[in-house]
Amino acid sequence: MASYNVKIAGMTAAIELRHERTVKYFRPYFTDEKAECSLCPTAADMDAIRQKFRHNDRLRGAEEYHYPAIAVEASALLDLLAHELLKRDFLLTHGSAVVYKGRAYLFIAPSGTGKSTHTRRWLELLGEEAFIINDDKPFIRIDGGAATVYANPWGLIEKPPIESAPLAAIVSLARGDKNQVAPLSPSQMFPLLFCASLRGTTPQEALHITELEHRLLSSVRLFGMTCTDSLDAAKAAVAALTTE
């Protein structure tokens, strides 16, 4: 086991890594800057992650799966980082965030809906004008009336070209026979964002997360979208979301 300094979402942390494949995973984020905190998962942290994985498998009705040690280690580190960044008003979300013309668009939905499939259609449509900043676990910083999406290793194999981008819109995605985009109110989006966000481990954390979610919903435009798996879906989304 070795210690490395990584810089993620503007914060430098010392992390301990047990597996060479995990080292490769974090290598693009290595830094020589002095660590502001230390993130070292314990055996209890690892066991809690395994229990969470098993619980989620049972909820889905899936057979119990033996998750590899590197997946458990990476998830435990994400948990520790998310709670540390929460102190700095960063919210961890489950979604896919694509950047176009310097602004980020976050798509949230239950697993298996097709968030990644849809954002990759943006790349197919827009070419080098667009890129994925995070495809699974983006961090969002809420600062006053603005929100910013940050890259991190959980969601992309390679580091994106920029560390962060201002968040322009959040879209709740659903599969449908037609490509339709409609505005949502904060009250309509709140339960959807809640389901896609980090859970607090204490009442204080839970309250802070709820406050950040409300601030986030008043900082960006909100939409619901039903879409097909097609290039036309990306065309419809780009037309609706990137026009003020």
Please check the confidence at residue 244 and state whether its pLDDT lies above 70: no
Q: CATH 3.90.228.20 residue ranges in the chain?
A: 90-241
Round to whole Å and give the CA distance between 111 and 91: 19
Q: Which residue has the higher pLDDT, 214 or 67?
A: 214
Return phi, psi of residue 123, to 5°. Answer: -65, -40
Q: Do 171 and 237 contact (CB within 8 A), yes or no?
A: yes
Q: What is the pTM of this model?
A: 0.93
Return phi, psi of residue 154, to 5°. Answer: -85, 90
Report residue 236 as tokens: 């419809």
The 3-state DSSP class for residue 107 equals strand
Sign of the C-alpha dihedral, residues 126, 197, 79, 163? positive
Q: Do 241 and 168 contact (CB within 8 A), yes or no?
A: yes
For residue range 164-189, list pLDDT tens digits in order. Answer: 999 999 999 999 999 999 999 999 99
Round to whole Å and give the CA distance between 84 and 88: 8
> pLDDT tier at 21 (50, 70, 90 boundaries)?
confident
Please check the confidence at residue 220 and state whether its pLDDT lies above 90: yes
Q: Which residue has the higher pLDDT, 118 or 53?
A: 118
DSSP state of 93: B
113: left (phi over 0), alpha (psi -120 to 50) or beta: alpha
Q: Which residue reads 């290793």 in tokens?
A: 153
For residue range 129-176, list pLDDT tens digits in order. Answer: 999 999 999 999 999 889 999 999 998 768 899 999 999 999 999 999
Say what the pLDDT of residue 154 is: 92
Return phi, psi of residue 45, to 5°. Answer: -60, -45
Question: What would the CATH number be for the domain defined by 90-241?
Answer: 3.90.228.20
